[in-house]
Chain A
């Protein structure tokens, strides 16, 4: 209570001081206005007086005489020059220093001296003496007693000096009579005293008015301030954001409801408590520093771990804004609080996503690269070795395309799990993208350690993987690169592992290869080949060769199979087995296949037109898996047939059994659509995939081409022949034409004839030849007719009855 009273008194004293200060300022402002206004009035008056004194002197005392001779009267000179001197300086000051004390005092001196001049000019008339009193009254307009004093001193000095040296001019007597001087001065002082009292009263009234005005203004300010404080306190209280006020000792002065609620307190509980109670101990030092910064710079921000009343923690962002008094002394800080837990969690999530693969949760390329770099640093420090493995899932694209992306994703997740289970806890498994994975094996002694990991992975992959719709078996190709085999370059190490993996793929997949420096040459070769292949596609640098399809019974050429060949100017003849897989990998197979189709159809049409070849002559063209699944397949075929004018039934599309095995229902659908075009359909390489047998009857195909592998081994025993026989029997049952591929000798020809194979092709008849050579063959119409006589003989030897 005592404190409150003292505080109240202090506040009143402070307010009184403020009022006094403000009143003084207002008074001084008004006084200045008054001074300047009076200065202006005096400037006008003095100039007027000066001019009037000249006129007056001219009227009253134009000349002085010596008998009949006149001269200009000294009063004229006095009015002009002395009056001018008296007037000039005060007016000059009024113009240059209005409101200044020097100006006022100069005006007082000038004005009183002008009174003296006027009195002299008017012969000292008593009436003119009133000019002095008028001047004093006018000077009183300044409401400055000091100026009146100056005026009085001027009068006193004038009378005193002249009374002493020229008493006649003042008192009309030849000697000084001080009582006369006193009499004179007393009246002046009397008037001045009255004027000064009047001024004092007036000034006092001015002070009171200023004080009242100051009080009024201060009251207005206080009312406004109070209203603002009330408004602010209501705003703070109702603010959604947590806001508190902290004193210089770090204690809460006030907290709003939102602030208290965030920490699980009530505002009353927190009031007066140390603010650090709401911050986790681990952040105390940092937040004390933050508050210190706010006390110095006025504002500071920090993120801290907030602690609730129940001990749970959360992330907060605190903004401290300090307030200072007029002298710049610190008063308090406002703390604006935000719960940023959600943002922090999001940031952590974003950070995790930035360095991890969203699908598998494994580290991504960025994180893996970073870890490899760390491994390099560590290996250098400890003189150790580590290995990087590069892996992908063999034929993953086929899985993805046939089973759908969802199943593909599941496969990737399962594969990632297998990899993680196959490595040590400290090793890093990462997904680089697509079906490419990498493994960082640190602290290994020799390449065998990495090989063991690869073996474990391969062993794990022997077990089928259960997806949602089916169970599949997969394999993986792996490349291993040791840190000791490369310079300290993460990128090179990864590339080496990739190269090794590529080689593993080219070596038949489902295996691993340890990188050696020489492999880089292989990679260079491959890149050259890719480049050349792309150029060949652009320039159509391929050739088509045709292998005749022969009626097994008559030897008549009934068709041709178009076969793609590539002769490179530097690389020479490149085998299809070499460039076709690369073309498939780099996405060129589709345009190449289209080119083959177009060329083959065009060639067939030419032959038909030039040689009046039978309309039953069929041109066979292989369709790659990618082509078969292409959405534009039907349109492209229609377009080619239209362009070339070849009848659809003269075109046979050969589709490999493996292609047909991939999504049976979709395959049948596509085959039906092709069938509707009128083209012939053949199953190529039949027999390699046993699944096809089960649904062959459902496939809308016209013929089956027995895989050359069966034909080639027919000589070796009865089993392969039985298989071929079974295929032929099956086709007969299904009313399908049967063709034998890869017939290389007469024995194979005879056996196929005996088994009832309709058509055949192979080196026994002709190697693939260019269009011109084929034309010559067609002109004959038959192949090796002379051999057929020998074949007839052999047939009789083997099976006389059949012959």
Chain B
């Protein structure tokens, strides 16, 4: 009788855990709104385009934990293509916020990574030029300034590790074929409203 009580408790426990895990998975796997950037480099962005190299722009929220994963993945790519890839990380800063708000550990980490140029993006105006509304949004332009990739470089919310975005960028730089030109973006919203798309 005693044992059967514990068995029932065990089953209830397992059900509770499964439900909890489902919620976690659901949260992790829901992407933000993907960008539809211009096909060619927007010169109005003020970001210097380096001809002959692939130019990558990452819109990032300096306070969003998911930025860590994106920056790590970016660093990985840059380490693989130090001479072929230039990157610029736009750190979102709302208007009116104190100076340096955006200069978090991520800023510091990104500035120390070779090949990355960091910029403050007040109210995400620059990111808007690339139609980026979700932190972690990456756009890649080829050496000729043509858009070749748009999407996230993490497999889920703040998840470091193998992902289609990074693999696609690597393939494009290597001149290889990739079927992933657009990937989901996992991160915080760069605007006042949510950018995440929850499936009903």
Q: Chain A interface (Cβ within 8 Å of chain B)?
A: 60-70, 73-75, 78, 81-82, 85-86, 89, 93, 96-97, 102, 106, 109, 113, 116-117, 120, 123-126, 158, 162, 165-166, 168-169, 171-174
Alpha-carbon distance between A69 and B163 when the two chains are bound, in angstroms: 28
Query: Please, could you name 29 A-B residue pairs with CB atoms under 8 Å apart, sorted by A?
Result: A60-B68, A62-B65, A65-B64, A66-B193, A67-B92, A67-B192, A68-B94, A68-B97, A78-B20, A82-B24, A85-B13, A85-B16, A97-B6, A109-B14, A113-B21, A116-B21, A123-B65, A123-B68, A123-B160, A124-B161, A125-B160, A166-B25, A168-B29, A168-B163, A169-B29, A169-B156, A169-B159, A173-B162, A174-B183
Q: Which residue on chain B has the smallest CB distance to residue A90?
A: B13
Q: Which residue on chain B has the smallest CB distance to residue A82?
A: B20
User: Within 8 Å CB of B94, what residues of A?
Assistant: 67-68
User: Within 8 Å CB of A81, what residues of B?
Assistant: 20
- Beta-carbon contact of A169 and B189 below 8 Å: no
User: Within 8 Å CB of B194, what residues of A?
Assistant: 66
Q: Which residue on chain A has the smallest CB distance to residue B180?
A: A174
Asked if B188 is at the interface of the complex by the 8 Å CB criterion, the answer is yes
Q: Which residue on chain A has the smallest CB distance to residue B28?
A: A169
- Beta-carbon contact of B65 and A120 below 8 Å: no
User: Within 8 Å CB of A166, what residues of B?
Assistant: 25, 28-29, 156
Q: Which residue on chain B has the smallest CB distance to residue A128?
A: B160
Top 5 closest A-B pairs, CB basis? A172-B155, A68-B94, A172-B162, A61-B65, A172-B163
User: Within 8 Å CB of A62, what residues of B?
Assistant: 65
- Beta-carbon contact of B191 and A70 below 8 Å: no
Of the residues B13, B158, B159, contact of A106 by C-beta under 8 Å: B13
Q: Which residue on chain A has the smallest CB distance to residue B93?
A: A68
Alpha-carbon distance between A117 and B25 when the two chains are bound, in angstroms: 11
Alpha-carbon distance between A165 and B68 when the two chains are bound, in angstroms: 25
Interface size on B (CB < 8 Å)?
47
- Beta-carbon contact of B17 and A86 below 8 Å: yes
Per-position contact with A for B45-80: 1 when CB-CB < 8 Å, else 0? 000000000000000010111101100000000000
Q: Which residue on chain A has the smallest CB distance to residue B133?
A: A67
Alpha-carbon distance between A70 and B16 when the two chains are bound, in angstroms: 28
Alpha-carbon distance between A332 and B160 when the two chains are bound, in angstroms: 81
Asked if B198 is at the interface of the complex by the 8 Å CB criterion, the answer is no
User: Within 8 Å CB of B6, what residues of A?
Assistant: 93, 96-97, 102
- Nearest Cβ distance between residue A484 and chain B, in whole angstroms? 87
User: Within 8 Å CB of A93, what residues of B?
Assistant: 6
Alpha-carbon distance between A158 and B156 when the two chains are bound, in angstroms: 16
Alpha-carbon distance between A162 and B27 when the two chains are bound, in angstroms: 13
- Beta-carbon contact of A69 and B192 below 8 Å: yes
User: Within 8 Å CB of B14, what residues of A?
Assistant: 109
- Nearest Cβ distance between residue A103 and chain B, in whole angstroms? 9
- Nearest Cβ distance between residue B80 and chain A, in whole angstroms? 16
Are A67 and B191 CB-contacts (below 8 A) given A93-B6, A169-B29, A169-B159? yes
Alpha-carbon distance between A61 and B69 when the two chains are bound, in angstroms: 12
Q: Which residue on chain A has the smallest CB distance to residue B25?
A: A166
Asked if B87 is at the interface of the complex by the 8 Å CB criterion, the answer is no
Q: Which residue on chain A has the smallest CB distance to residue B12?
A: A89
User: Within 8 Å CB of B171, what residues of A?
Assistant: none
Asked if B184 is at the interface of the complex by the 8 Å CB criterion, the answer is yes
Q: Which residue on chain A has the smallest CB distance to residue B194?
A: A66
- Beta-carbon contact of A65 and B189 below 8 Å: yes
User: Within 8 Å CB of A64, what residues of B?
Assistant: 64-65, 188
Q: Which residue on chain A has the smallest CB distance to residue B123?
A: A67
Q: Which residue on chain B has the smallest CB distance to residue A86?
A: B17
Alpha-carbon distance between A125 and B21 when the two chains are bound, in angstroms: 18
- Beta-carbon contact of B155 and A169 below 8 Å: yes
Are A113 and B17 CB-contacts (below 8 A) given A68-B192, A74-B27, A166-B28? yes
User: Within 8 Å CB of A120, what residues of B?
Assistant: 24, 28, 159
- Beta-carbon contact of B191 and A66 below 8 Å: yes
Alpha-carbon distance between A75 and B24 when the two chains are bound, in angstroms: 8
User: Within 8 Å CB of A85, what residues of B?
Assistant: 13, 16-17, 20
User: Within 8 Å CB of B61, what residues of A?
Assistant: 65, 67
Q: Which residue on chain A has the smallest CB distance to residue B153?
A: A172
Alpha-carbon distance between A96 and B124 when the two chains are bound, in angstroms: 56
User: Within 8 Å CB of A61, what residues of B?
Assistant: 65, 158
User: Within 8 Å CB of B21, what residues of A?
Assistant: 82, 113, 116, 158
- Nearest Cβ distance between residue B135 and chain A, in whole angstroms? 8
Asked if B137 is at the interface of the complex by the 8 Å CB criterion, the answer is no
- Nearest Cβ distance between residue A109 and chain B, in whole angstroms? 7
User: Within 8 Å CB of B139, what residues of A?
Assistant: none
- Beta-carbon contact of B65 and A60 below 8 Å: yes
User: Within 8 Å CB of A68, what residues of B?
Assistant: 94, 97, 192
Alpha-carbon distance between A166 and B26 when the two chains are bound, in angstroms: 8
- Beta-carbon contact of A124 and B159 below 8 Å: yes
User: Within 8 Å CB of A174, what residues of B?
Assistant: 164, 183-184
Of the residues A89, A124, A126, A162, contact of B25 by C-beta under 8 Å: A162
Per-position contact with A for B6-45: 1 when CB-CB < 8 Å, else 0? 1101100110110011001101110000000000000000
Alpha-carbon distance between A158 and B28 when the two chains are bound, in angstroms: 14
User: Within 8 Å CB of A86, what residues of B?
Assistant: 17
- Beta-carbon contact of B192 and A66 below 8 Å: yes
Q: Which residue on chain A has the smallest CB distance to residue B68?
A: A123
Given A67-B61, A124-B155, A172-B162; 12 other pairs, CB 8 A cutoff: A65-B64, A67-B92, A74-B24, A102-B6, A102-B7, A120-B24, A120-B28, A123-B68, A124-B158, A166-B156, A172-B164, A173-B155
Q: Which of A81, A86, A113, A172 gathers the greatest number of chain B CB atoms within 10 Å? A: A172
- Beta-carbon contact of B13 and A89 below 8 Å: yes
- Beta-carbon contact of B24 and A78 below 8 Å: yes
Q: Which residue on chain B has the smallest CB distance to residue A109?
A: B14
Alpha-carbon distance between A72 and B184 when the two chains are bound, in angstroms: 23
- Nearest Cβ distance between residue B10 and chain A, in whole angstroms? 6
CB interface residues, B 158-200, toward A, < 8 Å: 158-164, 183-184, 188-195
Of the residues B66, B184, B189, contact of A67 by C-beta under 8 Å: B189
User: Within 8 Å CB of A171, what residues of B?
Assistant: 155, 162
Are A126 and B161 CB-contacts (below 8 A) given A67-B190, A85-B20, A86-B17? yes
Alpha-carbon distance between A652 and B108 when the two chains are bound, in angstroms: 159
User: Within 8 Å CB of A67, what residues of B?
Assistant: 61, 92, 94, 124, 189-193
Alpha-carbon distance between A64 and B94 when the two chains are bound, in angstroms: 15
Alpha-carbon distance between A169 and B69 when the two chains are bound, in angstroms: 13
Alpha-carbon distance between A81 and B24 when the two chains are bound, in angstroms: 11
Q: Which residue on chain B has the smallest CB distance to residue A64?
A: B188
User: Within 8 Å CB of A74, what residues of B?
Assistant: 24, 27
User: Within 8 Å CB of B92, what residues of A?
Assistant: 67
Alpha-carbon distance between A120 and B27 when the two chains are bound, in angstroms: 11
- Beta-carbon contact of B24 and A102 below 8 Å: no
- Beta-carbon contact of B156 and A168 below 8 Å: yes
CB interface residues, B 69-115, toward A, < 8 Å: 69, 92, 94, 97
- Nearest Cβ distance between residue A155 and chain B, in whole angstroms? 13
- Nearest Cβ distance between residue A88 and chain B, in whole angstroms? 8
Alpha-carbon distance between A97 and B68 when the two chains are bound, in angstroms: 43
Alpha-carbon distance between A124 and B9 when the two chains are bound, in angstroms: 30
Of the residues B3, B28, B184, B188, contact of A102 by C-beta under 8 Å: B3
- Beta-carbon contact of A168 and B155 below 8 Å: yes
User: Within 8 Å CB of B164, what residues of A?
Assistant: 172-174
Alpha-carbon distance between A448 and B145 when the two chains are bound, in angstroms: 170
Alpha-carbon distance between A67 and B124 when the two chains are bound, in angstroms: 9
Of the residues B3, B9, B68, contact of A89 by C-beta under 8 Å: B9
User: Within 8 Å CB of B64, what residues of A?
Assistant: 64-65
- Beta-carbon contact of A70 and B63 below 8 Å: yes
Alpha-carbon distance between A457 and B17 when the two chains are bound, in angstroms: 121
User: Within 8 Å CB of B159, what residues of A?
Assistant: 120, 123-124, 169, 172
Alpha-carbon distance between A117 and B21 when the two chains are bound, in angstroms: 9
User: Within 8 Å CB of B97, what residues of A?
Assistant: 68
Alpha-carbon distance between A630 and B159 when the two chains are bound, in angstroms: 136
User: Within 8 Å CB of B63, what residues of A?
Assistant: 63, 65, 70
Q: Which of A89, A109, A116, A165 gathers the greatest number of chain B CB atoms within 10 Å? A: A89
